[in-house]
Amino acid sequence: MSGARTAPEFLPLHPQSNRQFHELHAADLSADLQRCDKEFNESLEQIIDCADPNTNDLVQTLSKTYERMNQERLANAKLIKKIDILKKDYKLESDKCEPISLENWDSYCNGERRAPSLVDMFTKMKEPRATLPQEGNTSTIKLFKIFPYLWEDPTCVLPDLTKSGNEKRSNPDDDDELQIEGGTIELVCPITCKPYENPLISTKCGHVFDKEGIVNYLRGHSSRDCPQGACGKIVTLRDFVPDKVMALRCKIAKIHKQREIHNKEENLDTL
């Protein structure tokens, strides 16, 4: 025999390996990321509740970390997609090859026949497009994004966010700068005429009421006209979900008020 024969580097997928091949997939991190989402939300609340002069800076730092986590989320979504496409492409290429036999073994060894390489195919692949999932994290992204504006003025109008409780309309990554319109948002429930305690937003029309008010209004009715004049939508209690943006507005407004009182007291002291 002349020289040692080397085994071929790549061989077509063996039919008996099909099952293992199909089990190949990228780890899905979405459950872990969802837990992180929850923790980010809780941290945001804790920072706001502490309400010290650094609140805005702390929220910005947290927001940047959150952004990084979302990049990971996107990378994970892409990898999952990439592996799926890779498997299909590889299987197609591999199926074009003649199954290994004693007769063709030599031709695989000397390179006459070539089987595809999974690794090569992976490195040559284009990055697939992936978008962040809409549910779950969108509201957290938004809360971070709108925070500096609300911190400045909790009653300011954020047109892209406050018109509707349905958050699917706008992709928060599209607009870097939020358009602030004139006008102010009332932080008082139109039913109870008191500041919001548990603001709920209608997913049907985006109108906000305090829980106490809307529960009383709908008591004894399975559905009723939305209490906001001229709305005209028929609503049920099931249409209402917690309005995190309004809750944030109210929290910040409270902090502003306390600060005002504190400043007044200090001014009186110095007089």
Binding residues for Zn ion (CB under 5 A):
205, 207, 226, 228, 231, 233
- The residue among 12 and 165 lying less far from Zn ion, judged by its C-beta, is 165
DSSP 179-194: PPEEEE---B-TTT-S
The least CB distance from residue 209 to Zn ion, in Å, is 9
Alpha-carbon gap, residue 239 to 169, rounded angstroms = 18
Alpha-carbon gap, residue 137 to 70, rounded angstroms = 9
The least CB distance from residue 192 to Zn ion, in Å, is 16
Termini Cα distance of the chain: 106
The amino acid at 194: K
The least CB distance from residue 233 to Zn ion, in Å, is 5
Token pair for residue 55?
Answer: 């609140």
- The residue among 73 and 207 lying less far from Zn ion, judged by its C-beta, is 207
- Residue 55 contacts residue 154 (beta carbons within 8 Å): no
- The residue among 133 and 242 lying less far from Zn ion, judged by its C-beta, is 242
- The residue among 117 and 203 lying less far from Zn ion, judged by its C-beta, is 203
Q: How many CA atoms lie within 13 A of 67 on its CB side?
A: 11
